[in-house]
Structure 1
Amino acid sequence: MSDRQCPDCDVQMEQTNITAEGVGDLYVETERDGEILDRLGVGQQTSVHTFLCLECGLTRLYADLSE
């Protein structure tokens, strides 16, 4: 996953993990009904990566569209 810049602070965000007690890996669940995600080749479960801005604390999740 490529480097990400904070849209507010314009600094490089650090890749990190989000955990929730009793929850496994986080993923985006999509339906494949011919819409945009289907055309992009995104499966029914797509993993996500978490990035954190160490300046302001903004946290963002990005779907891994390269899978």
Structure 2
Amino acid sequence: MSERHCPDCNVQMEKTNVTAEGVGDLYVETDREGGVLDRLGVGYQTPLHAFLCPECGIIKVYANLP
């Protein structure tokens, strides 16, 4: 995953992990044929990556698209 910049502070964001207690990796899941996620190239289970801004604390989550 390429580097990301904060839309508010314009500084490089740091890759981080976002988890829920008892849950492993986050991912997008879809089984809808022809839906918006399918049109975007998001597979049945597509990993998500989180980035944190060290200045303002905003966290952005991105799908790992091809």
Calculate the TM-score normalised by the size of structure 2: 0.86
Q: % of aligned pairs identical?
A: 70
Equivalences for residues 1-67 of structure 1 within 5 A: 1-66=1-66
Distance 1:13 1:60 in 2: 9
Runs of 4+ deviating beyond 4 Å: none
**How many equivalent pairs are there?**
66
TM-score (norm 1): 0.85
Q: Which runs of 5+ in 1 are unaligned?
A: none
SS of 1:7's equivalent in the other structure is coil
How far is the alpha carbon of 1:25 from its aligned partner?
1.1
Stretch moving more, 16-25 or 30-39: 30-39
2:62 is paired with a residue whose SS is strand
After TM superposition, the structure 1 stretch with the greater mean CA deviation from structure 2, 49-58 or 26-35, is 26-35
